[in-house]
Amino acid sequence: MTEREPVRAPTGTQLTCKSWQTEAAYRMIRNNLDPRVAEDWERLVVYGGSGRAARDWASFDAISRTLQELEDDETLLVQSGKPVAVFRTHRWAPRVLIANSNLVPRYATWDYFRELELNGLIMYGQMTAGSWIYIGAQGIIQGTYETFAEAVRQECGGEARGKLIVSGGLGGMSGAQPLAATMLGSTYLGAEVDWGRIQRRLADGYIDEIETDLDRAIEKAISARTQAKPWSVIYHGNQVDLLTRLINLKVAPDLATDQTSAHDNLNGYVPHGISYEDALTLRIEDPQAYISRAMDSMAEHVCCLLELKKMGATIFDYGNNLRGQAYDAGIEDAFTYPGFVPAYIRPMFCEGRGPFRWVALSGDPEDIHRIDQVVLEAFPDNRLLARWIELARTRIPFQGLPARICWLGYGERARFAALVNDLVKRGELKAPIVVGRDHLDCGSVASPNRETEAMPDGTDAIADWPLLNALLNTASGATWVSIHHGGGVGIGNSIHAGQVTVLDGTDEMAERAQRVFTADPGLGVVRHADAGIPAAIDFARTHGIRMPMSPAPVPAAGAPPAATV
């Protein structure tokens, strides 16, 4: 454990660095590690088992010093959480370029990665941890809300009340599930082994009730479903035990999924049949034995979900590679249920729509509230967006620097950026605004068991697209750009890219932002159009996106089976 004081982001208008372009990065890496935001700030872990903001504290300090000294025509290079060089570039170049966890494909295994990590040579950046744009559990909540809403629309006739959603985990991503479900009007039942995480989500208003007795937890959830009551019940225990008991009691939820940290079989997932405290001890004393137990447990976990499917529940994978781990553990039919992207999200990706987020560098919530008003005025016909903003205002607490998340598409993002940059220019906001997104986005990721699962042309595992995304955002003028490996689904299973752009009210950033926020989602449309998806092809043509070779539509019925990389 470190003896350092807790990390906090500076607020207000006093600069620590030489410009807002570098000040933003300085504040955001600190915001990632704010104890109100990070899962384990003392180990530099932001979320997702071992997703870090910096490789070690010496690297964090060096990043901080360098950002304070950086000129507006210089670029800092960060290699897996360690600052390695500064080069003179130009004003439109990113101030920071980040590469995390990237391994030559032949060596892209957890064993090889962990050997390097043990020797201090690499770190796991997850998605938004190592790219300094994590904003707490709220960063995933609208995506969870939209996913649950679409699942309810398709599977439950659109009626959320009186429906029971079952899932697991209360970490940095999974912690959003109970609140998203109850905001939708459904009943939620989940499990979490870490008492500290449960208490944290309770304090933040993300969950309604905790139960230490398994049968009582189930009874309370069933009662709430019967009353059509939006209510969340969290069992303090293991998710596999919860699912097994539901099966034994012949209780089938309406929807079932999972968002535990299954992507990491050592530092993320906690096996059943062992107490949480003993599991943590085993993880340190005998890592191989721990991994073996975790893999067996994930196999059982998927078997339980498949049994619930037989009982009438709709099940889907929520992007944590649980199916892939179970498949590797010998469950041959692990991929007989779909991932959430092809099942519910891909139509939005075809329009360049995805998880768009902004942060008030001032630290003043009023800056976010002012932007809320502008968003509602700018997009009056977007009823889903309007409903989301109203819900977020009343139900979602800020963690660290005030921030907001919503899904905006091609055209909408560029318009938003222009409006907000103008607010900063006119002094209607107290400080510049950082705008970024999740790496789970329309054109920034190759992940065969998640975002690019079941592409109709079979291009699930082609990783050229996230690399092109990072290059395009760099060329367009983003403030910092990152390329990561393995986030969300684990080493060997994904390549993804992120961008962050600072709206500081200048004419220069107005122009740069228009290019970034047109190109970034535009590539998402292109990626899906190139795969032959008719909706994306039509959208690209309608919106004048230039594609030199016109793609031919690929019939959905001809789609290949999901990849099992």
Residue 292, burial from CB neighbour count under 10 angstroms (0-12, 13-18, 19+): middle
- Please check whether residues 505 and 378 belong to one and the same domain: yes
Spell 130-145 as b/e; 16+ CB within 10 A means b. Answer: bbbbbbbbbbbbbbbb
Q: Which of these, 550, 524, 520, 539, lies nearest to 452 by C-alpha position?
A: 524
Give the pLDDT confidence score for residue 173 in this predicted structure: 81
Q: Give a yes or no: residue 489 inside a domain.
A: yes
Cα distance between residue 298 and residue 245, in whole Å: 16
Mean predicted confidence (pLDDT) in 315-320: 95
Last residue of a domain, one of 280, 310, 337: 337
Q: Which of these, 126, 128, 125, 124, lies nearest to 110 by C-alpha position?
A: 124
- What the block records as the tokens of 63 is 């990043």
Give the number of other CB atoms < 10 A from CB of residue 2. Answer: 10
Give the pLDDT confidence score for residue 2 in this predicted structure: 55
Mean predicted confidence (pLDDT) in 27-53: 95
Is it the case that residue 563 has pLDDT exceeding 50? no
Q: Considering the chain, what is the average pLDDT of its residues?
A: 94
Q: Which of these, 47, 65, 60, lies nearest to 5 by C-alpha position?
A: 60
- What the block records as the tokens of 229 is 């009551």
Tell me the torsion sign for CA atoms 129, 132, 137, 143: negative
Give the number of other CB atoms < 10 A from CB of residue 242. Answer: 24
What CATH code is carried by the domain that includes residue 522?
3.40.1770.10
Domain that holds residue 176: 138-337
Is it the case that residue 164 has pLDDT exceeding 60? yes
Is it the case that residue 59 has pLDDT exceeding 80? yes
Q: Give a yes or no: residue 3 inside a domain.
A: no
- Please check whether residues 421 and 306 belong to one and the same domain: no
Cα distance between residue 76 and residue 449, in whole Å: 33
- Please check whether residues 373 and 467 belong to one and the same domain: yes
Residue 100 pairs with which residues in a beta bridge?
A: 484
Cα distance between residue 125 and residue 51, in whole Å: 5
Mean predicted confidence (pLDDT) in 75-101: 98
pLDDT, tens only, 391-425: 888 888 899 999 999 889 999 999 999 999 999 99
The four Cα atoms 528, 533, 537, 543 give a dihedral, to 10 degrees, of -60
- Please check whether residues 168 and 278 belong to one and the same domain: yes
* CA-based R_g, the chain, Å: 22
- Please check whether residues 332 and 306 belong to one and the same domain: yes
pLDDT, tens only, 97-149: 999 999 999 999 999 999 999 999 999 999 999 999 999 887 888 889 989 99
pLDDT class of 556 with cuts at 50, 70, 90: low
- What the block records as the tokens of 510 is 């107005």
Q: Coil, strand, or helix at residue 394?
A: helix
350 part of the active site: no
pLDDT, tens only, 331-390: 999 999 999 999 999 999 999 999 999 999 999 999 999 999 999 999 988 887 888 888
CB 219 within 8 A of CB 175: no
Is it the case that residue 557 has pLDDT exceeding 60? no
pLDDT, tens only, 439-453: 889 999 999 999 999
Give the pLDDT confidence score for residue 561 in this predicted structure: 41
- Please check whether residues 422 and 510 belong to one and the same domain: yes
Residue 74 pairs with which residues in a beta bridge?
A: 88
Q: Which of these, 346, 371, 491, 356, lies nearest to 429 by C-alpha position?
A: 371
Is it the case that residue 564 has pLDDT exceeding 80? no
Q: Give a yes or no: residue 37 inside a domain.
A: no
Amino acid identity of residue 23, one-letter, is E
Percentage of residues in the chain having pLDDT higher than 90: 88
CB 496 within 8 A of CB 443: no
- Please check whether residues 398 and 318 belong to one and the same domain: no
Q: DSSP letter at 341?
A: I
Higher local confidence (pLDDT), 564 or 8: 8
Q: Which of these is catalytic: 17, 303, 350, 406?
A: 406
- Please check whether residues 394 and 323 belong to one and the same domain: no
Phi and psi at 55, nearest 5°, equal -65, -40
For the chain, how many structural domains are there in total?
2
> Could you give the angle at which helices 138-155 and 177-184 cross, rounded to 10 degrees?
50
- Please check whether residues 300 and 386 belong to one and the same domain: no
Give the pLDDT confidence score for residue 551 in this predicted structure: 86
Residue 443 pairs with which residues in a beta bridge?
A: none
Residue 78, burial from CB neighbour count under 10 angstroms (0-12, 13-18, 19+): buried
Residue 15, burial from CB neighbour count under 10 angstroms (0-12, 13-18, 19+): middle
- Please check whether residues 367 and 478 belong to one and the same domain: yes
Mean predicted confidence (pLDDT) in 465-484: 98
Is it the case that residue 174 has pLDDT exceeding 80? yes
Cα distance between residue 474 and residue 498, in whole Å: 10
Give the pLDDT confidence score for residue 49 in this predicted structure: 82
Q: Coil, strand, or helix at residue 107?
A: helix
Q: Give a yes or no: residue 443 inside a domain.
A: yes
What CATH code is carried by the domain that includes residue 205?
3.40.50.10730
Q: Give a yes or no: residue 62 inside a domain.
A: no
pLDDT class of 558 with cuts at 50, 70, 90: very low
Report residue 510 CA to chain centroid gap: 27
97, 442, 552 from 471: Cα distances, Å: 11, 16, 26
Is it the case that residue 565 has pLDDT exceeding 60? no
Last residue of a domain, one of 337, 369, 390: 337
Residue 502 pairs with which residues in a beta bridge?
A: 434
- Please check whether residues 194 and 234 belong to one and the same domain: yes
- What the block records as the tokens of 200 is 């944290």
Is it the case that residue 235 has pLDDT exceeding 90? yes
Give the pLDDT confidence score for residue 559 in this predicted structure: 41
Give the pLDDT confidence score for residue 385 in this predicted structure: 82
Amino acid identity of residue 316, one-letter, is F
Q: Give a yes or no: residue 47 inside a domain.
A: no
Q: Give a yes or no: residue 51 inside a domain.
A: no
Give the pLDDT confidence score for residue 256 in this predicted structure: 98
Q: Give a yes or no: residue 422 inside a domain.
A: yes
> Do you know the residue count of the chain?
565
CA angle 232, 233, 239 (to 5 degrees): 120
Mean predicted confidence (pLDDT) in 476-503: 97
- Please check whether residues 291 and 367 belong to one and the same domain: no
Q: DSSP letter at 249?
A: T
